[in-house]
Structure 1
Amino acid sequence: MLESRIIAAQSDDNFIERMLFEGEVLSGVDIARIEFESVQFTQCQFSKCNFLKTSFYNSVFENCNFANCNFMESYWKGSKILTCKGDGSNFSKSTIKETSLADGSFRYADFSSSVLEYCTIHDCNFTEAFLSEIRLKKPTLKAVNFTGADFFKTLLKGIDLSDCIIDGITVSDTRNELRGAIVNAGQAVELAARVLGIKIV
């Protein structure tokens, strides 16, 4: 049903609203520039689908898999991404506002050059994700794994990372990204050791 609704929207107004899609399986489908309003996706599988410039307003992805899909320049507002797998997905140059991400996996995902405003991210895995040149405004971060993530040119001033794992994150040589970031004592020691080039035993 979802694929037929997408085809209909593309030939009409590019708009889908107030619908529930459950257990859908889509592969290689072009979903670019569709607007979803108050739509819920539950246990859906998306393989190599193109969500370029797609918009999601007050919509929910729950227990879905969209790993390696393209969400470049997508727009999100008031939405939720819950217990989803987005490993390797491309969210670069996207705008994400007042949106919640919880219990999800976004390993190796690309969020570079995106804008995140008033977002909540809980219990998510962003290991080795690309988070460079992101504009962050008042995010809430709890139990997020940023191991090896790339924060190059992402200013973290005032961002509370104290409940997150930030081992091995990538920043510039000047480390300006970390100025004013909020970290716990253990994180501060590890970051200081990296700056000084010493090993802690």
Structure 2
Amino acid sequence: MPDRRFQKAASPLPPRAADPAIPERLVEAASLSEWIACACGGDASVAHVRIAGDAVEGADFALLELSESRMEGCSYAGCDFDRAMVSDVAFAGCDFSNSTFSQANFTRCTFSSCKFTGADFLEAVFSRVEVRDSTFAYASLARGKLEDVSVVSTDFSQADLTELRQRRVRFDDVRFVGTSFFRTSLDGVDLSSCQLADIVLSDAMGELRGCSMDLFQAAGIARRLGVNIKD
């Protein structure tokens, strides 16, 4: 009798589209830090701006409120975005490597060709978010929450997704190599188009119950369970 844990499940509901509400006319801002200091009088509440080419390292943006804006080609390596509230923002070609986003909240946001290598999203929440052509290698989303999230052509190698909660999540052509799904339920998630290698699971592999895989992926998991696969 086949192992029911790896049978193809019924198609789950697709994620809701991000559809960020961004005005056509935005104010050009050369620097996020300067905009907060000058235009906002030090109040970290930013809206209706387009920031392009900004570059800063190790800056403190904790409790930032960013909404209805665009960020393009910016670099914020090693910055502090803890408990930031980000809504209706489109990010393109931005680098947030080694930055922290602990307990941050992202709503109706898109990320295109962005880099989050080594970033820390401990207990962060993503709602109606779309990610494409990006990298979260060595990042941590431990104890976070994904709801209505679509991820396409993105690298999660060596990422920590421990105890991640998910609902209506779509992964398409995503690289999970050495990724930890420890105590993360993948029920309803289709992994058949993704690369899976050396993923971290609990001994019973209960994280995979209810997910969908192709035959090659399922065979690899079966071997980890000690099942001999015959040609």
* Common fold: TM-score over 0.5: yes
Question: As a proportion of its length, which structure holds more strand?
Answer: 2
Pair 1:26-2:38 in alignment: no
Counterparts in 2 of 1:79 and 1:10: CA distance versus 1, 3 Å: farther
Could you state the TM-score of these two structures normalised by the residue count of structure 2? 0.83
Superposed displacement of residue 150, structure 1: 0.2
1:93 aligned residue: 123
> What is aligned with 1:191?
221
1:7 to 2:50 alignment: no
Q: Secondary structure at the match of 1:106?
A: coil
Deviant stretches of 4+, over 2 Å: 6-12, 197-201
Question: Which structure 1 segments of 5+ residues have no match?
Answer: none
Conservation of the 8 A alpha-carbon contact between 1:193 and 1:200:
no
The answer for unaligned runs of 5 or more in structure 2 is 1-30
- Pairing partner for 1:149 from 172, 176, 179: 179
- 1:130 and 2:160 aligned: yes
Asked if the contact 2:219–2:229 (Cα under 8 Å) also holds between the matched residues in 1, the reply is: no
In structure 1, what is the equivalent of residue 83 of structure 2? 53
Taking structure 1 as the reference length, the TM-score comes to 0.95
Cα RMSD of the aligned pairs, angstroms, is: 1.6
Deviations 1:39-62 (CA, angstroms, capped at 9, x unpaired) = 211000112110000111010110
Q: Percent identity?
A: 27
**AA partner of residue 205 (structure 2):** R
* Partner in structure 1 of residue 17 of structure 2: none
The whole-number CA distance in structure 1 between the counterparts of 2:116 and 2:132 is 12
Residues 94-113 of structure 1 show CA distances to partners (whole Å, capped at 9, x for unaligned) of 00000011000111000010
**1:162 pairs with 2:192:** yes
Quick one: distance in 1 between partners of 2:103 and 2:41?
18
The structural deviation recorded for 1:92 is 1.4
In the TM superposition, residue 197 of structure 1 has moved relative to its aligned partner by: 6.4
Aligned residues: 200
Shift of the 200–54 alpha-carbon distance from structure 1 to 2, 3 Å rule, reads: farther
State the SS of the aligned residue for 1:5: helix
Per chain length, whose mean CA-contact separation is higher, i.e. which structure has more relative contact order (CA < 8 Å, sep 6+)? 2
Shift of 1:27: 1.3
